[in-house]
Structure 1
Amino acid sequence: MKEPPDMHRRWFVLLLPLALVTLACSSHPTASPLNAARTQEAGRADSGAGGGSEENATTTARLDELAQARATGTFGHRRQAATNDATTGWAGEQVVNPNVDDWEPAVATDPHGPYIYILTTRYGQPAPCKSHCPSPYITLTVSSNNGASWGDQVPIWGVKGSKAQYDPTITVVPDTGIVYAFFLNADRHGGFSTLFIKSIDHGQTWTDPVRPNGQVSWTDKPEITTSPSGQDVYVSWNGPTGGDLWVGVSHDYGATWKQIRVVTGRRYFYAYDGIVLPDGTVMFSESSFRYTCAGSGSFNCVSSGQVWHHAVISRDNGDTWENVIVAKVPIGEDCFSFGCGEFYTGQTSVATDANGRLVFAYEGPLIDGGPQTSYVTISTDEGRNWGDATAVSFNGEDSTQPRVVGTGNGDYRLWYMQTSDGDLQKPDGTHYWNVWYRSSTDGGLIWSAPQKISDASAGAAPYIHTDPSGTTGFDEIYGDYGEIAITSAGKTIGVWGEGISYFGPGGCWFNIQT
């Protein structure tokens, strides 16, 4: 759902927003499961500030890499058919647009209609308005036939006063089909605001933006969920004081908002997913880090200790919130690309079925600095208690950002990213990645054999290759997160980013079950 400050590295500038969600996958669950914590904790958060210098530098680096790749002819066109041999039961991986540099996608489906919506963060393309336009900006593409074909990619919103747009997230109101979207807006005065817009005509037009953050001066990494009617809307973000946890609540379809500071402490929070249970309970899946800064007044900080994974819960329509610690894990392997440090660590996702049974997905290593495994844990009491963790990725590979979705009676689908060839590095120090899919029909107890759904052929893009073991994969995860959804036909769609490096260029890809 987003771009946080540059916590993608152990030493970082605690100032900006560039989401740190990650992605990873695995094959056979052989790792020893970590025990899920069952304690509740009300934290505090105190240090830090908002700003855009690091984000501006990252944007500049991405634009430079894109210009160089285009100049050498290595990027900007599809080399061959994306998929020669689609995974069984899947249509085959497709890129949203082979000619552009797209980062960090989001997806939403209409549960009662054939509409699918994909958002991407687009770099290096002509601005979507005549002057003073955002770069990068958020684009939307829509399918009106459950993914059989797609419309044009168009800016979701762009007017003067927006310097840049990041962290797109989108959802469809179940009862009405109205589309809600949030994204992070870099204001011309140097701040970052969360913007809320909605569409009643399947994304053809959008309302003027509303700022759910009110007078909260700086926001990052918004994550959205809504009640079935769309009247009750909830968004979580991290705020201006050391990554403190905030929630915005609206009970009039997003017209007006109140803001609640849920946690004040020394941990920096990141929201990754949100759901509303059948009984109205609201839940966000989040993670938090503890950063220690070098010297008084210094913004050079290092993460230490453990990553905590949280379920942030309201049982009274957003008036009060609980902070339940689901698991605590060591800090995982650093990102392999230049400049992205802790890009892979600290991701979560949560899903419910029609009965309110919860599956919470997260990742973590067995030892500090080790390769991560993706796990799931289950709650049958609205998140008050969580069972022991079950590994869903392969022990010995590095895995990150599991994404889970639920429906019906115990029907859950999940994808995650995972390295290949035993987490062995290529000569340049990087790895090949793939996206793996698993499903459960018994409430998350037993999971199907993993399927590789990043099934594009080597050469389909300049970052897709075959490794020495014969496995085809992509160079680097491109985006702080990807997403998963279920269409009105009951099919799974996954979206994610692949790139040459953390700075790109790259593209947003998707695959749909047949």
Structure 2
Amino acid sequence: MAVALLVLTPTSFNTAATSVGSTPTFDSEQPFPGGGAYWEPTIAADPSSSYVYQAVTYINASKTCSGCPGTAIFLRSSKDGGATWGEARPVSLARGRGWQFDPQIKVATDGTVYVVFLQTFNPGSVLFKSTDHGATWSGPFTMNGPISYNDKPILVISPSGQDVYVALNVKLASYVAVSHDAGQSFAQVQTSNESLWWYSYGGTYAPDGSVYFAQAGEAGAKTNGKRTNQGHTDGIQKIFVLKMNHEGTAWENVYVDTSAVATSCAISACYADYFAAQASIAADAAGNLLLAYTRNDVNGTAHKMYLRTSSDGASWSSPVVFNDQGDNNFPAVVAGPSAGDFRLAWQDNRNAGCWDCGGLGSWNTWYSQTTDGGGTWTASVRLSNLGGGAPYKTPHGYAFPDGDYFGLAVDSVGTNHVIWGEADGSSLYCCGGTWYTRGA
């Protein structure tokens, strides 16, 4: 089933959300150890214990890891809620088999760790599982079926881990790989009915068993004529929420908004859509949804951050401007343990001398929280608080966001764990590192 719904296209916007309540406090940011070129990190917390997991994409891993592909996914664990960490190790020794990118981590209530990442474009996204906190892994479990190309996996699991959903870009189509045997086998479900270059940026499993993904469908020069060997298009982006039933047999694309052409990225090898509109979604303990997304009105101008809420994923509230300082990018939202509790993190360059300097200069990672379903929010907290410690850091921020997504998780006692990338902007995959913090 495919139904496209038009809901509440905005013509005017509310003012920014009110800041109330005590300001959250966080540890000072820390660098991911090892000194490697780490890219697009992610994080997950065990819902039933104090274990926390971090994963990074290690660029040029084969230079220090003899069994690794050129770029590899490394994971490490903490058994004490992020106070101390074990050694980072490769999930899969796959030397000679291309590269690995785009890690995702989820943890089931029994402690099983699920990791999905891209193992080249074919087979594409693969799943690994661990029942001993990442010491050993089973897998890879492939999910491509007849699909010869897939990219940008976003992982969602049910609390038990029995049900696994992975949203995939398949060039000018969106798919979800669905498993009901804990990832042993997958069915492939096409969930798009419009020829856009589809990327999912966040997903969530609701208490009633519904599954949601926040998506952006990109138009532009590289989709005209269906030049499907490319991507990273340079046109507008349409923002959708994909709603799917538990079985994965029925779905609908709910249209939310449209963003103009992205702000430019001037660094070497950067993509036309690096700063394109993105969206993230979470369901709280009562099943209410919060959608955070970025968009702009005029081609090439700064993005604002918008919020919408829903009780069913089909009808959404009018948009509220959450943040209009700088160019807002890469939202990440998760739900806390109580109904109405949502945590939001993002990156913006409000401290830069100019927001349209090709993406370079004075970026920071920020955090805020609501406990009333998005009605009011705490003051924003600057997580990237150090003015030094790396050549790309100044008191105003870091030079460039290293990767176009990062990780946010909430552990079993409500503590936030955040991990992100910082770089000098000399080129897309060099040179920078991963930083992290925790707090509540």
Q: What TM-score results when the alignment is normalised by the length of structure 2?
A: 0.89
Does the 8 Å CA contact 2:265/2:358 hold for their aligned counterparts?
no
Aligned position for 2:429: 503
Query: 2:410, 2:321 → 1: CA distance?
Result: 23
Aligned position for 1:270: 199
Unaligned runs of 5+ in 1: 1-31, 36-86, 467-471
The residue type paired with residue 219 of structure 2 is R
Residue 217 of structure 1 aligns to a residue in which SS? coil
1:182 counterpart = 2:116: yes
Q: Deviations over 1:30-77 (max 9, x none)?
A: xx6389xxxxxxxxxxxxxxxxxxxxxxxxxxxxxxxxxxxxxxxxxx
Q: Deviations over 1:352-406 (max 9, x none)?
A: 11000100111011322110111111001x20111111122234x1110111111
Equivalent residues, number? 418
1:208 counterpart = 2:139: yes
Match of 2:41 among 102, 105, 126: 105
Query: 2:104, 2:207 → 1: CA distance?
Result: 22
Residue 167 of structure 1 aligns to a residue in which SS? strand
Match of 1:171 among 106, 113, 129: 106
The residue type paired with residue 33 of structure 2 is N
Aligned position for 1:121: 57
Query: 1:202, 1:302 → 2: CA distance?
Result: 35
Aligned position for 1:9: none
Q: What TM-score results when the alignment is normalised by the length of structure 1?
A: 0.76
Aligned-pair distance for 1:256?
A: 1.1
Residues 1:425 and 1:278: Cα distance change in structure 2 (over 3 Å)? closer
Query: 2:369, 2:232 → 1: CA distance?
Result: 37
Aligned-pair distance for 1:302?
A: 8.7
Aligned position for 1:246: 175
Match of 2:149 among 218, 224, 231: 218
Matches within 5 A, 1:5-154: 33=13, 89-97=25-33, 99-126=35-62, 130=66, 133-154=68-89
Does the 8 Å CA contact 2:352/2:362 hold for their aligned counterparts?
no
Higher relative contact order (CA closer than 8 Å, sequence separation 6+): 1
Residues 1:289 and 1:157: Cα distance change in structure 2 (over 3 Å)? same
Aligned position for 1:473: 397
Aligned position for 1:332: 262
Residues 1:257 and 1:421: Cα distance change in structure 2 (over 3 Å)? closer
> Could you say what the CA RMSD is over the residues aligned between the two structures, in angstroms?
2.5
Query: 1:184, 1:302 → 2: CA distance?
Result: 17
The residue type paired with residue 328 of structure 2 is S
Residues 1:301 and 1:164: Cα distance change in structure 2 (over 3 Å)? closer
1:366 counterpart = 2:297: yes
Does the 8 Å CA contact 1:493/1:510 hold for their aligned counterparts?
yes
Match of 1:158 among 90, 93, 104: 93
Does the 8 Å CA contact 1:98/1:507 hold for their aligned counterparts?
no
Query: 2:345, 2:223 → 1: CA distance?
Result: 38
Query: 1:377, 1:319 → 2: CA distance?
Result: 26
Aligned position for 2:273: 342
Residues 1:487 and 1:243: Cα distance change in structure 2 (over 3 Å)? same
Q: Deviations over 1:111-140 (max 9, x none)?
A: 110111000001234457656x41110000
Question: Sequence identity, in percent?
Answer: 32
Q: Deviations over 1:331-359 (max 9, x none)?
A: 23112423323311121110111000100
The residue type paired with residue 33 of structure 1 is F
Aligned-pair distance for 1:291?
A: 2.6
Aligned position for 1:233: 164
Does the 8 Å CA contact 2:234/2:262 hold for their aligned counterparts?
no
Unaligned runs of 5+ in 2: 1-11, 16-22
